[in-house]
Amino acid sequence: MGGSVKPNWQTWRSRMSDTGGAQIAEAALVLPIVFMLLFGIIWFGRAFNIYSTITYAAREGARVASTTACALCTAATGTPAANAANAVTAVLQASHINPGQIQVYTGAGGTPVGCGGGPANCSNQSGITTCTNVELDATTRRRRRGGGTFTTVTGPAACGTTVSFQYPYQFYFPFTSLDRQQILLHADVAMQGEN
């Protein structure tokens, strides 16, 4: 037979069916996707956390601004705008969010309508717009009647206070179009005034 070697088909077949490196290749394909999902969950969760916090802060600011008297306010900060700004700042600082990044947001509705024919009193302090004597939307509720049917009852418009501002949030989401993308989270709250 002289020196020629015949191919051994069983050796080739065993080499072709070997899956020793398949796990590494699969991990190299799947792990970046898993990490992207985890980063997405973290950054969108943080954005939702900040949005919830600034909405709560605006609600607290509107609540403080809508009261007729403030037991904790000093004479220097007795205006509704100053009281609202102090309340918003306190909530943001308690949540470790920098109140220095607050920006002015005029609200989706534009200029507010004054209550009772008078003008709305709007002022801005530290980027937080507070409007008092604002006519709020009429309240609509459904009332059950005798046979199980519902009727819609619309109440009169109420006077109240609005507090609005926006807060910038920047995503850090590498290898996507959202990397270093800045969005503005809006807080716009209206609260009925106390008598």
DSSP calls for 20-77: TTHHHHHHHHHHHHHHHHHHHHHHHHHHHHHHHHHHHHHHHHHHHHHSS--TT--GGG
Would 61 be classed as within a structural domain? yes
In the chain, the number of structural domains is: 1
**Separation between Cα atoms, residue 40 and residue 47, nearest integer Å:** 10
Would 168 be classed as within a structural domain? yes
Percent of the chain exceeding pLDDT 90 equals: 31
Provide the pLDDT for residue 176. 74
Provide the pLDDT for residue 76. 47
Would 8 be classed as within a structural domain? no
| pLDDT tens sequence across 132-186 | 888 887 655 555 566 556 666 566 678 889 999 999 998 877 777 777 888 899 9
Would 15 be classed as within a structural domain? no
Would 69 be classed as within a structural domain? yes
Provide the pLDDT for residue 135. 85
* pLDDT level of residue 37 (50, 70, 90 thresholds): confident
Would 2 be classed as within a structural domain? no
Asked if residue 110 has pLDDT above 90, the reply is no
The Cα-based distances of 164 to 45, 147, 168 in angstroms read 22, 43, 14
Provide the pLDDT for residue 17. 67
**Separation between Cα atoms, residue 46 and residue 28, nearest integer Å:** 28
Which of the listed ranges 15-29, 66-80, 87-101, 175-189 does the model predict with the highest average pLDDT?
A: 87-101
**Separation between Cα atoms, residue 104 and residue 122, nearest integer Å:** 12
Would 14 be classed as within a structural domain? no
Asked if residue 3 has pLDDT above 60, the reply is no
Would 30 be classed as within a structural domain? yes
Q: Is residue 165 within 8 Å of 58, Cβ to Cβ?
A: yes
The Cα-based distances of 170 to 12, 55, 88, 176, 177 in angstroms read 55, 18, 21, 13, 12
Range of the domain at 42: 23-192
